[in-house]
């Protein structure tokens, strides 16, 4: 059992539904097992969060993972605006969903988002790089509790967004190739 060494933001957004129950274990990072994905999802080029074939996608770029914390960078594109020149909040929530999803899959099981909670702490301009990271707070049966944050301009830059999520483990059949376009 490990506790991610993360310089966490104070007072996360987690509600009772995204807070692990007392005693929920934080598993060792298992690493994504290729047998779990078997060509379905992992590195999927059509993914809106990270795929290279999604024309207006976020194209999150993973920069590494260690001690249960996955890191990535996201450059806000013009296509991601809400107010002029600023990232749309839903787009930022999508970036956090992707990050929490990666942190969940690092546990070595297949997870989907059941619930996602997001705090928007400051506006993020088009062209800015958001430095993202996410980690697991605990696993309770099929439920995994994830948390993450994004900072502007540098890994220790000002915080712009943070999120907490409940992810639920699903069988392989959840991701059938028939659903992929």
Residues that bind ligand MYA (CB under 6 A): 17, 32, 37, 41-42, 49, 97-98, 101-102, 105-106, 112-115, 142-143, 166, 168, 170
Nearer to ligand MYA, 97 or 149 (CB): 97
Measure the CA–CA gap between 161 and 149, rounded to whole angstroms: 6
Nearer to ligand MYA, 24 or 86 (CB): 24
Closest CB 114 distance from ligand MYA, rounded Å:
3
Closest CB 157 distance from ligand MYA, rounded Å:
23
The residue with its CB nearest to ligand MYA is 101
Closest CB 98 distance from ligand MYA, rounded Å:
5
Nearer to ligand MYA, 131 or 143 (CB): 143
């Amino acid at each position: 059992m490990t506790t991610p060494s993360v310089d966490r933001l104070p007072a996360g957004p987690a509600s009772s539904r995204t807070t692990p129950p007392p005693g929920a274990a934080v598993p060792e990072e298992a690493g994504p097992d290729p047998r779990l994905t078997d060509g379905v999802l992992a590195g999927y080029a059509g993914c809106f969060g990270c795929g290279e074939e999604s024309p207006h996608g976020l194209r999150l770029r993973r920069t590494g993972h260690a001690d249960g914390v996955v890191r990535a960078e996201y450059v806000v594109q013009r296509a991601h605006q809400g107010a002029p020149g600023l990232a749309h909040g839903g787009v930022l929530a999508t970036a956090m969903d992707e990050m929490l999803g990666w942190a969940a899959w690092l546990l070595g099981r297949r997870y989907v988002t059941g619930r996602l909670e997001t705090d928007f702490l400051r506006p993020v301009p088009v062209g800015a790089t958001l430095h993202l990271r996410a980690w697991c707070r605990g696993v309770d049966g099929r439920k995994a509790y994830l948390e993450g944050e994004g900072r502007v301009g540098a890994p220790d830059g000002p915080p712009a967004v943070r999120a907490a999520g409940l992810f639920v483990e699903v069988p392989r059949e959840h991701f059938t190739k028939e659903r992929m376009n």
